[in-house]
Amino acid sequence: MLVSRRTFVTAALAAPFLAPPGFAADGPLKLRDLYVKGGDFSDLARSLEGERITLEGYMAPPLKAEASFFVLTKMPMATCPFCEPGIEWPDNILPVYTRRTVDVIPFNVPMLTRGRLEMGEFTDPDTGFWSIIRLAEATYERQ
């Protein structure tokens, strides 16, 4: 099949708009893409609310065994940021809620997480974990 120059140029210009929602032109989003200085949400995060997005990061050690949620962090964390006194609370985390019990991925293994971005206050009924942003109905895999 011979592709005309016009067809090629049109396809090349349209490609960024045909990418799945939640993907940047060069790959998945990073946690820093969701926040601006001062802990507020970015315009990008607000525009993606309710959409399925993909993020990269690391799984923090889980709060409890057989949980259906984990916390995605920007960098590997060998200790649970919620269990050790004196450890500074990370300002770039995202709770991730799955439909099934979480299979733990080692803290230093990069991962991709895909889910629906939710914003607004929420308290997990099982753990009491409070969040203002999270992924729901998420899936995840090693990167």
Q: In this predicted model, what pLDDT tens digit does every residue of 49-93 receive, in sequence order?
A: 999 999 999 999 887 778 899 999 999 987 765 555 555 555 678
What's 44's domain CATH number?
Answer: 2.40.50.140
**Segment 38-54 mean pLDDT:** 92
Under DSSP, is residue 43 helix (H, G, I), strand (E, B) or coil? helix
Tell me whether residue 83 is in a domain.
yes
Tell me whether residue 17 is in a domain.
no
Query: Residue 50: its pLDDT value, please?
Result: 97
The 10 Å Cβ neighbour count of residue 53 is: 24
Query: Residue 10: its pLDDT value, please?
Result: 42
Residue 106 has which token pair?
């080692």
Under DSSP, is residue 41 helix (H, G, I), strand (E, B) or coil? strand
First-residue to last-residue Cα distance in the chain: 36
Q: In this predicted model, what pLDDT tens digit does every residue of 118-127 receive, in sequence order?
A: 998 888 888 8
Query: Residue 1: its pLDDT value, please?
Result: 45
Q: Where are the beta strands (DSSP E) in the chain?
A: 23-24, 27-30, 52-59, 69-73, 93-98, 111-123, 130-142
Q: In this predicted model, what pLDDT tens digit does every residue of 4-37 receive, in sequence order?
A: 444 434 444 444 444 444 444 457 999 999 988 8
Tell me whether residue 33 is in a domain.
yes
Q: Which domain holds residue 85?
A: 22-142
Q: In this predicted model, what pLDDT tens digit does every residue of 91-105 receive, in sequence order?
A: 678 999 999 999 999
Tell me whether residue 99 is in a domain.
yes
Q: Are 121 and 130 in contact (CB under 8 A)?
A: yes
Tell me whether residue 40 is in a domain.
yes
Query: Residue 86: its pLDDT value, please?
Result: 58
Tell me whether residue 11 is in a domain.
no
* pTM across the whole model: 0.75
Query: Residue 20: its pLDDT value, please?
Result: 43
| Total number of domains in the chain | 1
Q: For 48, how many CA atoms within 13 A lie in the half-sphere containing its CB?
A: 25
> Which DSSP state fits 79?
S
Burial of 60 (0-12, 13-18, 19+ CB in 10 A): buried
Tell me whether residue 6 is in a domain.
no
Tell me whether residue 1 is in a domain.
no
